[in-house]
Amino acid sequence: MKILILAVRPTDRYALQGLVAPLCRDVVVTDSVAGLERMCLRHRFDAVISVGFEWLTSGRDTAVAVRRGGRDCRVLVLSEACHEQAVLGVVEGGVGQYLSLPVEAHRLRRKLCRR
């Protein structure tokens, strides 16, 4: 399994990396939307985990670049936001799964393993 993690804070990236370590060792991290698009064009990922959803509201069509990485690519968004409109907007943007923070570690791993 190949996973891409997008988080602005470096400690968030490492934390998620440590969390998914039992599932797979092939983890790529990035801190920006441009990096996310670049990685998705170069490699094929099984899952993309994003902390925050700012990249979905900017109009960059990043979701298209992410899907280009593979139809089976699952996109999981982790965010503290619980406002109904924000969540609906995220789902409308093409996200497969929206998980509110704090997320249970085993639940996240189950979501990643599920096909």
Partner 1 sequence: MITFVESILLLVGCALAVFVWQELMWDVRRRARRQWLSRHGSGCASHICGYLFDDAPIPLPETECNHEALLELLHSVCTLTSGYDPRRVALLSRRMGLDDYLQRRTRGRTRCTRAVYSLLALQTGIDVDLRLPATGDDLASQTLFALSATRLDDTDAAVRHLAARNLSPTSAAMAVEMRSRRYPLSDYSEALHSADTMAVRIGLAAVRRTANPEMTFEVIRLVDTCNDELLEDSLYALVALRLSVVRQSVARAVAHLGEIRRTRFYRHLVVEGYSSQAIELLCRNEPSAAIRDYAISLGESHKRRLDQPQKQTVL
Partner 2 sequence: MMFLLMWLYVTAVTMLAVAVTVACVARHVVLMRDGCTRRLAGLWTLTGCDALAEPGVSLLVDYDGNEQTLEELLSLDYLRYEVVVVGNLAVDHSLARVVERYSMVEVGAPVVDERLSNSPRRLYRSRRRSYRRLVVVDSAAEHTAERLDCALAVRSYDRVLAVERGVRLSPEALRVMVWRACESPDTEVITAPVMTDDSVMGAVSEVWGFFGRCRTEVALMDGDTVVAVGGFSAPRGRGGATRRIVKRLRRAGCLRLRLGVAVGRNPKAVPRVGLVDFAVCHLLGYGAVLLWFGDHTMRRVAVLCLVILWLTGLMAAVGSRAFRRYSGSRRSWWQTIAVPLAVPFRIFLVRHRKNA
Binding site for partner 1 (CB under 8 A): 9-12, 14-19, 21-22, 51, 78, 82, 84-85, 101-106, 108
Binding mask 59-78 for partner 2 (x = CB under 8 A): xx------------------
Shortest distance, CB of residue 67 to partner 1, whole angstroms? Answer: 25
Lookup result for tokens 């969390």: 19
Instruction: List, in order, residues 6 or more apart from 85 with CB less than 8 Å away.
Output: none
Which of partner 2, partner 1, none lies near 15, with the C-beta cut-off 5 to 8 A by kind? partner 1
DSSP secondary structure letter of residue 24: -
Identify the burial level of 10 via C-beta atoms within 10 angstroms of its C-beta, where 0-12 means exposed, 13-18 middle and 19 or more buried: exposed
Cis bond upstream, residue 102 (ω within 30): yes
Binding mask 29-48 for partner 2 (x = CB under 8 A): ----x---------------
Which of partner 2, partner 1, none lies near 22, with the C-beta cut-off 5 to 8 A by kind? partner 1
Binder to partner 2 among 35, 52, 67, 97 (CB under 8 A)? 52
| CA–CA separation, 34 and 59 (whole Å) | 13
